[in-house]
Structure formats: C-alpha cells, structure tokens
Amino acid sequence: MRTYALAGNPNTGKTSLFNTLTRSYEYVGNWSGVTVEKKVGTLLNKIDRLVDLPGIYSLNPLSRDEGVAANFLLTESPDAVLNVIDSSQIERNLYLTLQLLEYRKPLVIGLNMIDVAKSRGIRIHTDKLSQILQVPVIPIVARTGKGTDAILEQLTGMPTSIETPFQLDYGPIVEQAVVACASYLDNLQLELPDTRWLSLQLFENNTAVKESLARMMPMEPLEQLYRQTEDAIVQSGAGLHLPQYLRSVRVAYIQQLCEQCVDRGKQKEHSLTERIDALVTHKILGLPIFLLFMFLLFKLTFDWFGQPVSDMLDAFFSGPLSDGVNQALTALGASPFTHALIVDGIIAGVGGVLVFVPQIFMLFLMISFIEDSGYMARVTLVMDKIMEMVGLNGKAFIPFIIGFGCNVPAIMSARAIEQPKERLVTTLLTPLMSCSARLPVYSLFVGVFFVSHKAIVVFSLYLLGIVLALLLAKLFTSIFYTSEKSMFVIEIPPYRLPQVRSLIRNTWEKGKGFIRKAGTFILGGSVLIWFLSYAGPSGFGVEMDHSFLAKIGGLFAPILAPIGFGTWQAGASLLTGFMAKEVVVSTMNIIYHAPDMAGLESQIQMAFTPLQAYSFMAFILLYVPCLATVGVIKKETTSTRWTLFSIGYALVLAYIVALIIYQGGQWLGFS
C-alpha cells in the first residue's frame, strides 16, 4: 500500500479530483479554504491511499489550515505527491510546484481547469513542461473527470524514487550554505525529509520546518548559518533578505519556463464574472442584494417549497404510518408499554422532526449554491467594512454563512482566518448563527403564531443572530485583543455555474447528517423523554403532570417565568435541546401528546402567546451551542475554559435577550 498526497494552491480543484479518484463526496466549494483538514481515501485501484490536503500557496504556512498541509508533508512522508495546478493561473501555481519538486518525492502534475484556461485563450504545452521539469504533466478537468484515468495510471505506475532530481541553482552564496546546512542535518542521522529541501525551507524562514526541527536539535548553528548567508546576500546586493532572494530566483525561473511553455494568445476577460460582480459587489446595492438573497432563501424554505412538502410528509406520518403501526402492534399483541413507547415516544418524537427534512434539504441546497457558485468570496468583500468595525474581518462571514446550515463545519472553516485571536472570536460567535437544527422549532412556532409572516419572522431571527454576533464581536475583540492587527486579503474566484450533480451531492452530504441524527440523538432523546414522561415517583403510566419529566422541567419554570415561558414543559424541552436542538420539537411532540402536527399546533396555541412564542424562539436560537458544536469548539480552541465560556455567555445572552423581548414587548402592549 502506498500513500499519495494531493497538494496545490487553494481552490484549484484538489478535492474535486480526490472525489473522482476515490469515489468520495468530500466538501467542494468555490472559494479558498474549503478543505481545512486532511482527508484520507482509498484510490479506485482499492490498494493505495490518497490524502487530500488544505490548499497552500507555499510550504510556509500562515493560517492553521495551511499548517495542516505543510506539517503533513514535513512529517508523514508520502510515497508520491500529486500536484494540482489551476491552468488559468499557472504562473502563480508553479511557485508551489518548484518547492514540491525540491521536496524530491516522485511528483505528478495535474493541470486542472484546462477548460477555463482554454476559454480564456491560454494554451499550455504540456509535453514541453513535462520535459523540462522531468515529471509527468497531465491536463485534466477534475469536475467532469476528464483525464483523471491518466492520473491514476501515472500515480500507480510511479517509481518509488527519482533518478535525476530537480535542482534549481540559487547562486554560489546560497548553494554553499545549503551544502553546509544539509551536511549538518545529514550528520545528525535523524529520520528527516530531503535535507537540501529542508535547508532551502529553513532559508526561506519556514515556520513549520523551524518548529519541527527545533524539537529535534539545537537551532543555534542553523540560525547562525542563516544570518551569515543573509548578510552575504544583502552585501552582494542580490536581495533585501534571504527569503525574498530565494523567491526571486524561483520567480525568474518560472517566468522563463512560462515563456517556453505557455501561449497566452489574446487573453479574454471573464465577461460574465464582470457583469455579475458589477451588480452583487456594487457599492450601494451589494449589501441589499445579499439581504434579499437571504430573504429569498427563507421564502423558498418556508413558504414556497419546504412547508407544503413538510405538510405532506406530516400527513403521511400521522395518518397512514401511525395507523399502520398501531394496527400492526395490536395485531402482534404488544404490551401497552411497548405500544406507548413506539407510537407516543418514537413516532411522535422522531417523526415530528423528520417532517422537516424537506425544509432542511432546501436550506442546504441554497447554501450549497452559495458555496459552489463563487458568491461566498463576494460576501466577504461586501461585509468586510462592517466586520472591520467590530474588530473581525470579512472572512469571518464564511463560517457565519456555513453556520446557517450547521455550526460544526462552520467552526472548522474558521481555520482559514489568519489571525489567531480573530479566529478565536469567530469560533466563539459562530454558534449564534441559526443552524438548520433550530429550523424545526421556528417552523413549528411560526406555523402557529405568525402564519401570514412566516418568512419575515424567521428572517428576523437569523438577523438577530447576526446582529448579536456583531455586537459581541465588538465587545470580545475590545477585551481580548491587545496588539494583534486585523488583516484582510481575499482571493476572488471566477463564478462557476454549479453542476446539478454536485449540488445534489453536496446537499445530500450535509442533509444526511440530519437524518443520521434523527436515528441517534433524536431517537435516543425521544425514548428517554417519553420514559421520563411515562414514569413518575408513583410508578409507571402516571399522568404527565406528575411524571419525572414534569418534576425536572418544573425546577426551571420559576427562572423562565420572567422571559415568558415559565412552564415545566418549556423547561423540559430546553433541557433536552442541549443534545441537539431538534429534540426540542420532539420533546414538545411527546409532552403535548400530539397525534400530528395539527394537534401539536393547537396545543401550543393554548400554551403560548405570540409574544411568548417569539421570546421562546429567540431563546432557542441563543441559549447554548448543541453538544456536537461544544465538541468542535473544544477541539478547535483546545481549551476547556473557552469551551465553558462559549456555553456560559450564550446562556446569559439568551436570557437577557428573551427578557428584553418579553418584558419590552409587554410594555409596548404586545401579547
């Protein structure tokens, strides 16, 4: 078994290629920084492994996701590297290629996006490029799979070592120093990657390399060599400092290479991209267009598509399915306990959440569209000014948007933010984005209380989340930051019309998590809640008001009274909502003992007033990140303190906001 690593600049189609070569469905999107962890897959030959890595511009990492890729190459020593290049940006991409060639592992170059290059009038002489660099160069279109067979063939037929390693001449001063450095490293007799490559990376001031070497050896001799070499370079007038000099040698080589291998012909502009951008990043219209787009998203999810289909599903669950199960259970002679467990517990709890599948898939479809079209990078541009005012940068909006789907991948995506403190604040605030799991709660309540304004009410909750995140960002950044400077440089990809196939796939990949949750957390939660509602201090089958659930929920009722829902039912559902926020709806289904959605709606209508309902929804939005989100916050911050903080501030915030809504609303005369 051999291991191959995918490496290349961000957004060049590495994951698209990975998916075709391993038949996986990893996350693809049209912006830089989609992949933030390494992903391992088995190649189509069923023997070898392929590793997908985050995109990098050079081997010297700046952000955390880049660190993952650089460290992989440094420590894990793959058998060969598959370098994916965006052909329409070949010159810039070749910079990394040179560093990978110096890495001296067998290399295959996949010239991706050949279709884009062609449409822009760029022609690349692959044979010549391959001949000069002495590695196979294969033109491909990763998103359609064109040319990927050839890649597979090349990779698997690769020799394990290279005969004539690529070597760039950096001039006498550096070459001498490299020899000295390499022999110093060789003499240590450690398991290291190619020492010429390591030396060059050291001279480039590669932080990942330095850190990893510092763990194994004293760095003083190497630092001294670095200073000597730099002095010599500066004195000779060849460069301002050593890294810059090395870069200039490489860039000169690439320029010469491109002159031989790339025909630019007449480069055409992206006329479509130009026209769309003129509108969506318009000075004045940019922000309103973004808000309109979000509003349409909710219209589609709630009014036009999701709700009607959900209603149909609900009719099926509560009608034919329940009846069928009821009859079957009676026919089988099931005990009243089993009967109640299945019908009142599982079907009510899990079914009550599954009816929202259409809405959630619609939402994910829209988010996938934003991700794959290229709009994401534009949103960061439109939002940057506002984000800057609160101490973050436009890139923090990427986790926020992904967070509308699910907070877990959203928090992961914050890895692409360069400044550690900005990343921390973004991580802490992302749970305020209203994810799809809150959607069933909204859907249930707006369906009862705000029938004629569904989309606008839900939209207001999403906005509430964003606005609070911005206000808190201001607060947090002014407390935590001392000196760190905010920065923002964003690469803006050309628009790409998402393929229907990949949209559906992306949507499914996101949505299936919801269905899986229904089978695990929600099922488990429903059974537990049903049991607690069925059992009480006086035995089984008690009146629900005397059940354990009522006792537990009742503990919270007095605290919740000032914010509008001081009932044991609300207390109990909030408690269970920590597992996964959909469980709130399952719990209500079970507690209110509703045979179907209509039944639940009428029950809820009696239990809440519209103002209380709104306060409840806002509380659900804010009160604590779900269990999975807490897990990922812990993983990303590697700090128990911050994890607890994220729970604590959310609880306090939720209470204050709900209090303002309820008391303020009453004062204004709403009910």
Ligand X SMILES: Nc1nc2c(ncn2[C@@H]2O[C@H](COP(=O)(O)OP(=O)(O)OP(=O)(O)O)[C@@H](O)[C@H]2O)c(=O)[nH]1
Is 492 a binding residue for other proteins by CB under 8 A? The answer is yes
Q: Tokens 């390499």 identify what position?
A: 182
Is 523 a binding residue for Mg ion by CB under 5 A? The answer is no
- The verdict on whether residue 148 carries a ligand-binding annotation is no
The span from the CA of 64 to the CA of 421, in Å, is 12
Is 384 a binding residue for other proteins by CB under 8 A? The answer is yes
Is 247 a binding residue for other proteins by CB under 8 A? The answer is yes
The span from the CA of 147 to the CA of 420, in Å, is 40
- The verdict on whether residue 34 carries a ligand-binding annotation is yes
34-42, 270-278, 569-577, 632-640 -> range binding other proteins (CB under 8 A): 270-278
Is 15 a binding residue for Mg ion by CB under 5 A? The answer is yes
The span from the CA of 145 to the CA of 543, in Å, is 61
Q: Provide, rounded to whole angstroms, the least separation between the CB of residue 194 and Mg ion.
A: 26
Is 55 a binding residue for ligand X by CB under 6 A? The answer is yes
Distances (CA, A) of 81 to 17, 139, 186, 578: 13, 16, 23, 43
88-96, 130-138, 157-165, 459-467 -> range binding other proteins (CB under 8 A): 88-96
Is 500 a binding residue for other proteins by CB under 8 A? The answer is no
Q: Compare residues 255 and 605 and give the one whose CB is closer to other proteins.
A: 255
Question: 42-81 mask for other proteins (x: CB under 8 A)?
Answer: ---------------xx---x-------------------
- The verdict on whether residue 160 carries a ligand-binding annotation is no
Token readout for 504 is 């559906």
Q: Is 284 exposed, middle or buried (0-12, 13-18, 19+ CB in 10 A)?
A: exposed
Near other proteins by CB under 8 A: residue from 12, 199, 380, 436:
380
Is 20 a binding residue for ligand X by CB under 6 A? The answer is no
Neighbours of 385 (CB within 10 A): 11
The span from the CA of 347 to the CA of 326, in Å, is 11
> On the CB side of 311, how many CA atoms lie within 13 Å of its CA?
10
15-23, 103-111, 330-338, 571-579 -> range binding Mg ion (CB under 5 A): 15-23
10-18, 103-111, 522-530, 654-662 -> range binding ligand X (CB under 6 A): 10-18
**What one-letter code names the amino acid at 385?**
K
Residues 496 and 444: beta-carbon distance below 8 Å: no
The span from the CA of 74 to the CA of 83, in Å, is 16
By CB under 6 A, how many residues form the interface with ligand X?
26
Residues 35 and 26: beta-carbon distance below 8 Å: yes
Residues 666 and 611: beta-carbon distance below 8 Å: yes
Q: Compare residues 144 and 224 and give the one whose CB is closer to ligand X.
A: 144
Q: Compare residues 31 and 226 and give the one whose CB is closer to Mg ion.
A: 31
48 touches, from ligand X, Mg ion, other proteins, none (C-beta below 5 to 8 Å by class): none
Strands 123-124 vs 80-86: parallel, antiparallel or unpaired: unpaired
- Close Cβ partners of 317 (under 8 Å, ≥ 6 residues apart): 347, 351, 352, 354, 355, 596
Token readout for 75 is 């420590």
The span from the CA of 420 to the CA of 468, in Å, is 22
Question: Closest-CB residue for ligand X?
Answer: 55
Is 230 a binding residue for other proteins by CB under 8 A? The answer is no
Residues 518 and 393: beta-carbon distance below 8 Å: no
Is 350 a binding residue for ligand X by CB under 6 A? The answer is no
Which residues in the 313-372 window bind Mg ion by CB under 5 A?
A: none
DSSP per position, 114-175: HHHHHHTT-EE-HHHHHHHHTS-EEE-BTTTTBTHHHHHHHHHT--SS-SS-------HHHH
Q: Compare residues 73 and 357 and give the one whose CB is closer to ligand X.
A: 73
Which residues in the 275-294 window bind other proteins by CB under 8 A?
A: 277, 281, 283-284, 286
Residues that bind other proteins (CB under 8 A): 57-58, 62, 88-89, 91-92, 95, 120, 247, 267, 270, 273, 277, 281, 283-284, 286, 377, 380-382, 384-385, 388, 394, 418-419, 485, 487-494
Residues annotated within a binding site for Mg(2+): 19-20, 22
Residues annotated within a binding site for GTP: 8-15, 33-37, 52-55, 112-115
